[in-house]
Amino acid sequence: MTPQARVQAAIEILDAVIAAARSGGPSADRIIADWFRTRRFAGSGDRRAVRDLAYGAIRACGEVPVSGRAAMLHLAQDDAALAALFDGSRHAPLPIAPDEPVAAGGIAPAWLTQRLAESGIAGAAAAALLARAPLDVRVNTLKARRDALELPLPGEPLAAPQGLRFAHGTPVEQWQAFKDGQIEVQDGGSQLACAAVDAAPGETVIDLCAGAGGKTLALAADMAGKGRLIACDTDRARLSRLAPRAARAGVPPIDTRLLGPGRELDALVDLAGKADAVLVDAPCSGTGTWRRNPEARWRLTPHELARLTAIQSRLLDVAAVLVRPGGRLVFVTCSLLDAEGADQVAGFLARHSAWQAVPLDLGAGTPRGHGLRLDPLQDTTDGFFIARLAAPW
């Protein structure tokens, strides 16, 4: 592909990403993969260059652009070499007209930028949300230890006890240690969220929103494969991915429960008041994961945020029913908005006055309300809010 053709390809991909953001369609990663699947002529260098152009434009534009061309023109404003590729030649974008629309820059849509600022995320802290994320792994203690595991690259030790960091794009899934289940890809902040549960061998632990089971596997390792671990989710397809991952990691069979949305307790009635710990890694806006999914900020609306916070509040109340007297509830969101963090916990404690917040010391994070907040600028992790709550005796 010529440099001009790469720019035009990025524009076409951006058009699809913008349309998907407005309609709730597939992710940018999926769109890019599908685009190249039907264009076998593109080599690895072409794919990398087009992907970098598309994601560069996504990260640079705050509001949803009117078009992919408008997004790319925003990048071209400060890049004369890029602007010169709009020359109208074969497979190239048309020349730039003096009055055509150019997308605006920024961190996010204005309403969301304001919500972040009100939650203490502005300036450099907000800009860090759109940087490129590194690749973190967790050493699986059922099969290895961080200080003894030999890998093709050494990795940087993280605050998480078994965490290692590598450069973005490191092919860890091709390493034998990954194939053997000795390491799992997991952000360092996510690992610390699991550490907050303090799961121990022999306990009964519930992962109430397990998804595909990344945190479930970390809990299983902390429990040394001993005790009762229950992984729950409302998405059958995501939950089904846990079994093969657990087998690779050497985790004993895990009790999985498919939950009905709004009727979660129906499938958990036998566990009421019996769990030593419940992890509520609640559905959220994902504002803390923009480094990996920058187009997600174009998908979020005030209405969707209100829907998510209502779900979080309800799941906290569900979890409270499951925790035994004196047990613990750990609430986690990958969000930097107080509405999905400090405010949620304050609301829970107002509804459940006998419960208490327990201070956390995870070796990272900044106190926020009754919990800790991790953010990309201060902690070099994805953004998370983490709180631990103790049930009354």
Which residue positions form the known binding site for S-adenosyl-L-methionine? 233, 281
Query: Token pair of 340, please?
Result: 């999905």
User: Is 194 among the residues known to form the active site?
Assistant: no
> Measured between alpha carbons, how far is 148 from 250 in angstroms, rounded to an integer?
18
Q: Alpha-carbon distance 157 to 149, whole Å?
A: 12
The sign of the torsion formed by the CA atoms of 184, 186, 189, 191 equals negative
Cα separation, 339 vs 344, whole angstroms: 6
Q: Which of 61, 194, 232, 334 is catalytic?
A: 334
SS3 category, 219: helix
CA distance readout (Å), 147 to 124, 140, 163: 34, 12, 11
| Alpha-helical regions (H) of the chain | 3-23, 28-37, 44-60, 68-76, 80-84, 110-118, 124-127, 176-179, 188-197, 214-222, 236-240, 242-249, 296-299, 302-322, 342-351, 376-379
Long-range contacts of 156-163 (CB under 8 A, 24+ apart): 158/188, 158/191, 159/188, 159/192, 159/362, 159/363, 159/364, 159/379, 160/188, 160/191, 160/192, 160/195, 161/191, 161/195, 162/138, 162/191, 162/221, 163/136, 163/137, 163/138, 163/139, 163/188, 163/191
Place of tokens 């970098």: 52
For residues 308 and 316, the answer to whether their CB atoms sit within 8 Å is no
Secondary structure letter of residue 105 according to DSSP: B
Helix (H, G, I), strand (E, B) or coil at 351: helix
Measured between alpha carbons, how far is 231 from 242 in angstroms, rounded to an integer?
A: 9
Q: Residue 62 corresponds to which tokens in the numbers above? A: 């705050």
Question: Helix, strand or coil for residue 389?
Answer: strand
Active site residues: 334
